[in-house]
Amino acid sequence: MGQKNGSLIAYNFLEKRIINSGFCTLCGACEAACPVSALHIEGEKVKHSHDCSKDMDLCPICYEICPHSEALLLRSLSFVADTPMKNEALGYYRKIVLVQAVDPKIRELSHGGGVVTSLLKYGIETKAIDSAIVSQGESENPAMPKASVALVPDDILSAIGSKFFPSSVAKAYGSAVYGYGKSNIAFVGVPCHILALRKLEAWQHKISGNLKITIGLFCFGTLSLSSLLDYINKTYKTAPSEIKRIHLSSKLVVHTERDIIRIPLSEVADHILPSCRTCTDFTSELADISIGGAYPLKDWSTVIIRTKAGEDFFYKAVADGIINTWVIEQEPTVVERVMIAAMQKRKAALKKAKEMEEVYGYLPTLMLRETDDLAKIKIGEIMAKNVRTVSESMTVSKFLDLVAKHHHIGYPLVNTNDEPVGWVTLEEASSVDKDKRDETLVGQIARRKLVVVYPDETALDAFKRMSENETGRVLVFDRPDSKKLVGIVTKTDLMHILTKQ
């Protein structure tokens, strides 16, 4: 957590690493979870309305429950991990089926299988749920989602169809609990929304007990509204107020009162939110039920049932004739396409994450399944041994020669007893004036804080410690002799393992 006025306040981290770095997807989980109502989504920004460090010395909530922080991922994964099957591309699941709404009107309105709408409507009608968090279209601009609490079937019907802009569904979830007093809530969202809710559950936040079922949508990304509208205005001479509906198929189709503009996806891709570029989850791997398209079939959806709760909820609707199912094995192209899309998203995200790490010096988040992978690897298996160290009496000039020769940018600093006492990196050394480098010793410029792991800890522990300390490397000390340096692990090593896997 970030430090401010001697206090430990998560908002400082949230602001620096998520909000100001452009990784916020406006889910509203931080607003719903903040114990002192200090956070509010306004437009496309999370606003900190008052300095919470005045109210408390310690609060880790908002950063930990943000879907783009590295916290609580393993515990979030545990909500689906007892499921019998695991697929490399799709995560844990029980069944995958093709599904469509029996009601043809719902299918027509949804432009897909209409499965989400049918399930929610059925849930409300049968009182299996008392409310649902949906994303209706704004009355003046139906392409823009307005997260809301659906209480009756008509509310569900008015949210039908996908909107490709951020929706503050987790904030609406907070309103369902606090504002409407609902206790059996169905929640619909894209993978990062579902992760936010799972993190609230993992945190055991008081509002999480009111969640009945999560329905996750497949997601390739959401678009930055301001960026895209600006682009459409400039390039296609169409003001935001003229847009009636936006639909995404092989092109982004913008309906206005006058005409229809078809924008190639290559142009649209420039306006995807930064977080989406490092997001590895395509199929909402933590949802009870995940739902996406079933291309090339029309009017059908691909449904991945992951948990027992999801299975019970889903098959009640099947038994009551609300939705039709079809065996996916009869349509091998559908599942193949979903798997390819999921793998491509993961691969592209890992590549982008590597590039971003170079820019930010840390990863704002580590992906879900990657976290699981890192938790299985022991530091002793991956650490670089035979670590080259530098002594406190080495000059900065000599240090820079060493960097040039060995191409490592950071070295542990050891004292005269050969005990590690700090770190020296190219960054500190190159900031010393050129004419002072022969007389300045690395002992004078070194960072004295050691970030340490042990060989019997996991690669995930190393990642967490790097993130907490905003460093790209950790020293490995011997467990029995805690002053003995036995290895080093860098963030690049971790990324290398993940991309290889």
Ligand X SMILES: Cc1cc2nc3c(=O)[nH]c(=O)nc-3n(C[C@H](O)[C@H](O)[C@H](O)COP(=O)(O)OP(=O)(O)OC[C@H]3O[C@@H](n4cnc5c(N)ncnc54)[C@H](O)[C@@H]3O)c2cc1C
Binding site for ligand X (CB under 6 A): 110, 112-117, 134-135, 145, 159-164, 167, 169, 188-190, 193, 217-220, 222, 291-293, 301
Q: How many residues bind ligand SF4 (CB under 6 A)?
A: 38
Per CB under 6 A, the segment of 26-34, 152-160, 319-327, 393-401 that binds ligand SF4 is 26-34
Residue 276: name its binding partner from ligand X, ligand SF4, none (Cβ under 5 to 8 Å by kind). Answer: ligand SF4
131-137 and 185-189: which strand pairing?
parallel
Shortest reach from residue 115's CB to ligand X, in Å: 4
Nearest CA-CA partner of 216 in 152, 140, 301 = 301
**Whole-angstrom distance, CA of residue 206 vs CA of residue 60:** 15
Residue 30's beta-bridge partner residues? none
Give CA–CA dist 63/434, Å, rounded: 41
Helix (H) or strand (E) holding 501: none
Of 51 and 108, CB closest to ligand X: 108
The distance of closest approach from Cβ of residue 250 to ligand X in the complex, given in angstroms and rounded to an integer, is 12
Residue 91 is encoded by which pair of tokens? Answer: 């995560």
Chain-centroid distance of CA 120 in Å reads: 25
Q: Which is nearer to ligand X, 165 or 203 (CB)?
A: 165
- Minimum Å distance from CB 230 to ligand SF4? 20
157 versus 495: smaller Cβ distance to ligand X: 157
CB 164 within 8 A of CB 155: no
Alpha helix stretches (DSSP H) within 287-390: 308-319, 332-360, 368-375, 379-382
Q: Name the residue among 112, 331, 145 with its Cα closest to residue 225.
A: 145
State which of positions 221-240 bind ligand SF4 (CB under 6 A): 221-222
Are 74 and 301 in contact, with CB atoms under 8 Å apart?
A: no
Alpha-carbon span 377 to 132, nearest angstrom: 40
> Does residue 169 interact with ligand SF4 by CB under 6 A?
no
Answer whether 8's CB lies under 8 Å from 60's CB: yes
Give the residue with the Cβ less far from ligand SF4, 29 or 323: 29
Residue 291 binds which one of ligand X, ligand SF4, none, with CB within 5 to 8 A depending on kind?
A: ligand X
Q: Determine, following the binding rule CB under 6 A, whether residue 174 of this chain makes contact with ligand SF4.
A: no
Judged by CB, which is closer to ligand X: 211, or 429? 211
Task: Choose among ligand SF4, ligand X, none what residue 13 binds, the Cβ cut-off being 5 to 8 Å by kind.
Answer: none
Within 13 A of 144's CA, how many CA atoms are on the CB side?
15
- What one-character DSSP code corresponds to residue 223? B
424 sits near ligand SF4 (criterion: CB under 6 A): no
Is residue 25 part of the contact set for ligand SF4 (CB under 6 A)? yes
CB of 104 to ligand X, least distance (A): 13
Nearest distance, CB of residue 262 and ligand X, angstroms: 18
Q: Which of 414, 413, 411 is nearest to 403 (CA)?
A: 411
The option from ligand X, ligand SF4, none interacting with 177 (CB < 5 to 8 A, set by class) reads none
Q: Of 215 and 429, which has the nearer Cβ to ligand X?
A: 215
59 binds ligand SF4 (CB under 6 A): yes
Torsion sign over Cα 457, 463, 467, 473: positive
Q: What 3-state class would DSSP assign to 406?
A: helix
163 binds, among ligand SF4, ligand X, none (CB under 5 to 8 A by kind): ligand X
Question: 429 Cβ partners below 8 Å, 6+ apart?
Answer: 396, 399, 400, 403, 437, 442, 445
Cβ at position 407, least distance to ligand SF4 in Å? 34
Q: Pick between residue 167 and residue 278 the one whose CB is nearest to ligand X.
A: 167
**With binding defined as CB under 6 A, does residue 342 bind ligand SF4?**
no
**Binding at 145: pick from ligand X, ligand SF4, none (beta carbon under 5-8 Å per type):** ligand X
Smallest distance from ligand X to CB 379, Å: 37
Give the pair of three-digit tokens for residue 94: 């029980």
For residue 166, whether the previous peptide bond is cis, meaning omega lies within 30 degrees of 0, is no
Residue 143 site contact among ligand X, ligand SF4, none (CB < 5 to 8 Å, cut-off depends on kind): none
Contact range with ligand SF4 by CB under 6 A, out of 4-12, 235-243, 370-378, 432-440 = 4-12
Q: How far, in whole angstroms, is CA 251 from its chain's centroid?
A: 26
Residues 279 and 349: beta-carbon distance below 8 Å: yes
Nearer to ligand SF4 among residue 173 and residue 477 (C-beta): 173
> Exactly one of 276, 363, 466, 486 binds ligand SF4 (CB under 6 A); which one?
276
Amino acid (1-letter code) at residue 359: V
Distances (CA, A) of 9 to 115, 447, 496: 42, 24, 32
- Say which entry of ligand X, ligand SF4, none residue 89 contacts (CB below 5 to 8 A, set by partner kind): none
Residues 6 or more apart in contact with residue 73 via CB below 8 angstroms: 366, 368, 371
DSSP-derived 3-state class of residue 150: strand
Q: Give min distance, CB of 45 to ligand X, in A.
A: 18
Instruction: List residues binding ligand SF4 (CB under 6 A).
Output: 9-11, 14, 18-19, 24-30, 34-36, 38-39, 46, 52, 59, 61-62, 66-68, 190-192, 196, 219, 221-222, 273, 275-276, 279, 281
